[in-house]
Structure 1
Amino acid sequence: MSLVYETPAADRPEASVPADAPLSASVEYSFLAGTQLAPAALAHACRLAARWGVQPHEVLIATGHLTEEAYVRALATSAGVAFLPCLPEGSAAVPGKASLRQCLTTGILQEAGPAGRLLLGFTCLRPFAMRALIARLAPLPVALVPPRELRRATAECFASSLAQGAVSALTSRRPLLSAYRPAGAWLVWALVLGAVALVVGVLTAPLATVYAMSIGLAFVFVPVIVFRLLAAFALARPRPPEARKDAVREADRELPTYTILAPLYREAHMLRPLLHALSRLDWPAAKLDVKLILEAADTETITAAQALRLPANVELVVVPDTAPRTKPKALNFALPLARGDHLVVYDAEDRPEPDQLRRAYQAFRSGPPNLATVQARLNIYNPEANWLTRQFTVEYSALFDGLLPLLDAMNLPIPLGGTSNHFRVEALKWLQAWDPYNVTEDADLGVRLSRSGYRCAVIGSTTYEEAPVRLGGWVRQRTRWLKGFIQTWLVHMRAPRTLLRELGLRGFLAFQIMIGGTILSALAHPWFYGLLAMELAGGRLLALPQTVLGLPFWTVSLFSLVAGYATAMGLGALALRQRGLDRLLWQVPLMPLYWLLISIAAYRAVWQFVVAPFKWEKTDHGSRAKARASQ
C-alpha cells in the first residue's frame, strides 16, 4: 500500500461515509477554510492522526491533501505574522551559537540582516499551541517558513562543516581505521619481502616454488570450503513455516520516524522508479524522512528532481563537489540531517519489499541492546536479461540467502551489502559513519561494527536490484568491490593483534575468510588452470607417483579445486531452489566461467588500487528506465 503519496485506498475520505471532524479540531483548523480543504478530509486526517500518533495537519500534508506551503501560509495569516515561502541563499543565519542539531531539532533560524526576524519552520505543534508560542515571542519579529525549506537553509548554513565532517570525521578521530592510508609499515614490508621471495623462488627453483605456493593456497581455501558447506547444510535443513517474531506488526502510533538515504549520481532517469518503489513501503507517511542525496556537479539529476512534485516527506540534499567523490562521502554529508532514530540506505535502482522497514524495526526491538545494524537480503529483478545477470543472481542468492545468514547465526562479522543496511543512527554516528576513502564502505563498516562490540542481523525481507547487463559495467563494478575489499583487509590488518583481540579468534578467522579469502581466491583461480595446462603439456599429469612433489601437490590442489567447485555450486543450487528460481539451476555448472571473469576484475582491482585507490567507478543502472525517459 502507498503511504508516501496517498493514504490506503480503504481509508480515502471519499470512499467512506462523510463524517465531520471533532468540534475542537474543526474550530482549531478553521483557518484552513481558504485552502478549499474538504471537511471529510479533515475528519479523515483526525482519525489517521490518532492511529499514527501525529498531528492532523501532519497527516494532511503527508498524504497530499494539503501542501506544506499552503498550511504554513494559512497559519501565518491567521497568526498575523509574515510568511516566507523560500529563503534565498545567504538570507538565513544561525541564531547565536546554536549547533546544527539544535537548529534541526527546534526548527529555528534567524533572518540575516538588520531585521533579524526569527524564522520558525516546524509543524510539530498544533495550531493553538503555535499561536500561543508566537504570542509569547511577540516582542520579537517572527516569520513562518515551510519546514522543508528551513531544513534546506539550515543545511546551507552548515554546508562547510558538513562537507569537512563528511571527509575528515573518521580520519581525524580514528585514523587507524581509515583507508586514507590503508597499509601499515610492517604490512608493506611483509608484502614487498614476500614478492621478492616469490621472484627469487621462481628464478631458482620454479617447479618447487609453484608446488609450494599451490599447496599453501589450497590449505588457505579449506576454511572457505568448510564455510560454504556449513551454509549449504543450513539451507538444506527443513525450517518451520513463516512464523517469525519479526513478522509481528507494530502499532502505527508506536513507530518512530525512519530516515531513508538514497544517493543518486547521473541517474535522473531513476528518480520516478525510485520514488514509486519508496511509495510502496508500509510505514506512516508522516513518519518517513526521505533524503535524495545529489552531487552539486550533477546538474542534470538536480534539475530533474526539482522539476518533480516531490511528496512532502522527500527532500533534496546537495553535496558540495569536493574530493573524494564517493558514495560514502555523500552519505556522511547527509547523515547529520537525518531526523529519524533509524535509517536505511537504498540505491537508485532498489525495489525493497513493502514490509522491510517494519521487519527491520521489529528486529531492532526484539534484538539485543548491541544490535546496531540490520541487513536485508538482496536479489536481482532482471535475471533473465542475459547470461551475466543469471550468474549474478546465482551469486547473490548464495551470498545473501546462504553465507550472510550463517554469519548472523554464528555471531560473526558481516561484510554489509552496499544497500538495504538499516542502522540505529546513534550507533552509526558513534562509529563516525562511513569511510569516505573506502570504495566498499559497507563491508568496512560491517567489520568496524563488530570490532566495536556491535552486532548485525540479517532479516528475511528482500530488496531487488538491477544486475549490470553489459560486461564493461559489470567489470567496473566488480573492480570497485574487490578494490574495496583490498582496502578493507589492509586497513584492519594494520594491527592484527588488536583485530584478533577485538573480534576474537572466530571473528578474526571469519574476517580472513570473507574478506581475504574473496581476494585471494579471485587472484589464484586462473593459476590452477594454468598449472593444470602446464602439467598436461609437459606430460607429467599421469606420472604423479614418479615425482617427489607431484602426488601431494595434485592431491591437495585437485581436492581444493573440486571441493571448492562442489560446495559453491551446491550452495548456489540450494539458494536458488529456496527462492523458487529452479529455472536458473542450469546456470550452476557454468559458475567457473563466471569466476574467471571475477579474476579479471581482481587483477584490474589490484592495479587500480596502486594507481587510483579512491577512484569510484559508477555502475550504470536503469537501462529500461533510461530508454523510456529518452522517448
Structure 2
Amino acid sequence: MALGQGGALFVAMQHEMLLFAGVFFLIGALDEFAVDIAYLWLRLTGRLGTGRIDAGDLAANTLTGDAAVFIPCWQEVRVIGATVRHALAVWPDPELTILIGCYANDPATLAVARALEKEDRRVRVVVNPEFGPTSKADCLNCLYRALEDEEAMRGRVFRMVLLHDAEDMVDPLALKLFDIALDHAAFVQLPVLALPKPGSRFVAGHYVDEFCEAHAKTMTVRDALGAGVPGAGVGCAVRRDALSRIAAARNGRGPFAVDSLTEDYEFGLDIAMMGMPTRFLRMRTKEGRLIATRAYFPGRIGESVRQKTRWVHGIALQGWDRIGWGKGAARRWFDLRDRRGPLAALLLFVAYGLLAAMALSWAARGFGLIETVRLGPLLHLLVAANFAALVWRSAIRAVFTGREFGWREAALAVARIPVSNTIAILAGRRALFAYLRTLRGAPIVWEKTDHRDHPAIDAREAA
C-alpha cells in the first residue's frame, strides 16, 4: 500500500536535497581540486617545496638579537611546566626571555610559573591586572606591555617575539630558524603538527589529518601565491618593528585585537595588509625531521566542538565584519575559503540527513510504500562526480597524513573523515548561535580548551 501524497512529497524532498547537496558539494570539491592543482604545479615548477637544512650548522648559529616568547595562560597548571622546561632545555640561548601571562585568581598556574621563574633567570611571570579569564588577546597585550618595560630596563630593543600556547612542544631548531627567516620577512609561521594522542585515535586523531594536509599543502600554496599568511597563534615569530607598527595602528591598545576570538589569525593578515612580508616556512633536517611545533589536541567530542566553534566564529563569521576582504584575487580566494565553515557545516548536515532519508526510503520501498527515486542525467552526473571527488579527497588526506606518520595513520585518516565532518557540523551550528548572541550585545568570552597531556612528558616517560 503506497503512502500517496505523503510518499510523493518524501520522494520529492529527497530529490531536491540530493540536487542541492550535489551542486554545492561539487563547487567545494572543485575549489579543493584547484588548490591541489596549484600545489602540484608549484612543486613541479620549483616554486614550492620543503627545504632541507643541516641541523648541526643551524644549531651552532648565534642569535643576532634578543628573543621573547609570549605564553598566555589561564588554568594551565597541568602543562605549562612541561612546555617551559622543554623550551628552556632545547633553547639554551642567553638572549632568550620567556614571558608567562597569568592571573591572580588562577593561583595554581601562577604558583607553577613562579617556580619556573626561580629555576631559570630567563623566565618572567606577568600577572594580568584584571581577574581572568579576560581574553587571550588581552593576556597577550599585557605581555606586550611587560616586554616594553623589559626593554626600558635593559636599554635595548628585542629583535623578535615568538607566540606559543601553554601546551606546545617547541622545536629545538625553531628559534634559530626564525632568527634567519626574519631577515627577509616581518612575520614567519612554522608548521604545526598535531600528534596522535594515546586513547583518542579518532577525535584527537582527526586534527592529525587536518593539520598534515593544511600545513603541507594549503598554507604553502597560500604563501606561494602571496595571499598573506594568517597566524596559527603558536610556532610563529614577528619582528619587533612590525609588532610596534601593529600596536600603533591599534591606537596604543596593544598589537592584539581583544574583541576577536581569533586574534592570532587576524594578526598575520594585518601584517600582510600593512605591506610587510609574511612567510609560511616549511623546512626539514637532512635526516627528514620536520621543523614544527608539536602538540596534542582535544581528545573529547565536547572539547573539540568548543575549540572549533571559536575557530569558525572568529574566522568565518567575525572575519566578514572585522577584516573585510583583502586585495588581489589570491587573497580574496583564500578569504572565501576561510569563511566557508558555516556553509560547509550546513552542507554536511544536509548530506548526512540525505543518507538517513535514503536508508528510510530503501526500507519503505521494500514494503512497497513509496516509489523509487528516479535520478535524471544531471543527478547521475552529480552523484558520480561527487563520489569521485570523495575518493580523491580521501586519497589526498591519506597521503599527507601518511607522509608524516606512516601507513597506519594514513588508513585511519580515511576512517576519521566522518568524525571530522560530525565535529564540523556541531561546531558550525554552535558558532552561528554564538555569533548571533554577540550581535545582540553578548560579550566575547575566552572559551579555552582544557589541556591535560603534553608530548614532552610522554617523551620523558618513554625514555
Q: Same fold (TM over 0.5)?
A: yes
- Higher Cα Rg: structure 1 or 2? 1
Q: 1:521 to 1:241 in 2, by over 3 A?
A: closer
Once residues 441 and 240 of structure 1 are traced to their aligned partners in structure 2, the CA distance between those partners, rounded to angstroms, is 29
Q: Distance in 2 between matches of 1:254 and 1:303?
A: 31
CA positional deviation for 1:451: 2.3
Look up the match of 2:193: 379
- TM-score, length of structure 2 as denominator length: 0.77
Deviation at 1:593, TM superposition (A): 1.3
Q: 1:273 to 1:377 in 2, by over 3 A?
A: same
The aligned residue for residue 315 of structure 2 is: 485
Residues 222-247 of structure 1: CA distance to partner in whole angstroms, max 9, x if unpaired? 45322442376379869989545999
Question: Amino acid of the residue matched to residue 297 of structure 1?
Answer: N
| Number of the residue aligned with 2:415 | 590
CA separation in 1, counterparts of 2:114 and 2:49? Answer: 48
* Contact persistence 2:260–2:318 (CA under 8 A): yes
5+ unaligned residues in a row in structure 2: which ranges? 1-8, 152-157, 248-254, 284-290, 362-369, 459-463
Partner of 1:225: 32
Give the aligned partner of residue 294 of structure 1: 102
In structure 2, give the amino acid aligned to 1:552: L
The equivalent position to 2:169 in structure 1, one of 327, 351, 365, is: 351
- The AA in structure 2 aligned to 1:221 is G
Higher mean C-alpha displacement, 614-623 vs 219-228: 219-228
Q: Distance in 2 between matches of 1:294 and 1:213?
A: 49
Match of 2:375 among 527, 538, 544: 544
The answer for the alignment partner of 1:555 in structure 2 is 381
Distance 1:333 1:400, change over 3 A: same
Matches of 1:401 and 1:348 in 2, distance apart?
Answer: 24
1:389 is aligned with what amino acid? A
Could you tell me which of 457, 466, 470 is aligned with 2:279? 457
CA spacing shift, 1:406–1:345, aligned 2, 3 Å: same
* CA offset digits 1:560-619 (Å, max 9, x no partner): 4641x3343233222223214322112122233121222112111111222256122121
Equivalents in 2 of 1:537, 1:434: separation in Å? 51
Is the CA contact (8 Å cut-off) linking 1:247 and 1:359 kept in structure 2?
no
From 522, 541, 544, the equivalent of 2:345 is: 522
CA gap 1:471/1:455 in 2 versus in 1, 3 angstroms: same
Q: Distance in 1 between matches of 2:182 and 2:394?
A: 34
Contact 2:342/2:432, CA 8 A, preserved across alignment: no
Residue 238 of structure 2 aligns to a residue whose secondary structure is strand
Secondary structure, counterpart of 2:78 in structure 1 = helix
Residue equivalent to 2:403: 578
What is the TM-score of this pair, normalised by structure 1?
0.58
Say if 1:271 and 1:528 are closer, same or farther in 2 by CA, change over 3 A: closer
C-alpha distance 306-537 of structure 1, shift in aligned 2 (>3 A)? closer
Q: 1:377 to 1:439 in 2, by over 3 A?
A: same
Structure 1, unpaired ranges of 5+: 1-201, 546-550
Q: CA deviation at 1:337?
A: 2.8
Structure 1 letter corresponding to 2:166: A
Alpha-carbon distance change, 302 to 582 in structure 1, aligned in 2, over 3 angstroms: same
Classify 1:427/1:297 alpha carbon distance in 2 versus 1 (closer, same or farther; 3 Å). Answer: same
Contact 1:266 1:298 in 2 (8 A): yes
Provide the C-alpha distance between the structure 1 equivalents of 2:372 and 2:71, rounded to a whole number of angstroms: 54
Q: Percent identity?
A: 19
- Counterpart AA for 1:271: I
Deviations 1:29-75 (A, max 9, x none): xxxxxxxxxxxxxxxxxxxxxxxxxxxxxxxxxxxxxxxxxxxxxxx
Displacement of 1:373: 1.1
**Structure 1: how far apart are the matches of 2:82 and 2:90?**
13
- CA spacing shift, 1:356–1:231, aligned 2, 3 Å: farther
Return structure 1 stretches of 4+ with deviation > 4 angstroms. Answer: 205-213, 234-242, 244-248, 250-254, 535-542
Letter of the structure 1 residue corresponding to residue 344 of structure 2:
S
Asked if the contact 1:277/1:350 (under 8 Å) is kept, the reply is no
Q: Are the counterparts in 2 of residues 263 and 348 from structure 1 also a CA contact under 8 Å?
A: yes
The one-letter code matched in structure 2 to 1:361 is D
Map 1:177-576; keep pairs closer than 5 Å: 210=17, 213-214=20-21, 217-218=24-25, 220-230=27-37, 233=40, 243-244=52-53, 249=58, 252=61, 255-282=64-91, 284-285=93-94, 287-308=95-116, 309-321=118-130, 325-338=134-147, 339=151, 340-365=158-183, 367=184, 371-386=185-200, 387-432=202-247, 433-459=255-281, 460=283, 461-492=291-322, 494=324, 499=325, 502-513=326-337, 515-534=338-357, 537=360, 542-545=373-376, 551-553=377-379, 555-556=381-382, 559-560=385-386, 562-563=388-389, 565-576=390-401
Deviation at 1:283, TM superposition (A): 5.3
Q: 1:241 to 1:602 in 2, by over 3 A?
A: closer
- Decide whether the 8 Å contact of 2:398 with 2:413 is kept in 1: yes
**Displacement of 1:292:** 0.6
* Structure 1 residue 445, shift from structure 2 partner: 2.1
Contact 2:192 2:294 in 1 (8 A): yes
Q: Aligned partners of 1:519 and 1:289: how far apart in 2?
A: 40
- Whether the 8 Å CA contact 1:535–1:541 is kept in 2: the answer is no
Whichever residue aligns with residue 525 of structure 1, its letter is L
Tell me, in whole angstroms, the C-alpha distance in 2 between the residues paired with 1:385 and 1:373: 36
How many residue pairs get matched? Answer: 407
Q: Which has the higher contact order (CA 8 A, sep 6+)?
A: 2
Q: CA RMSD, aligned part only?
A: 3.4
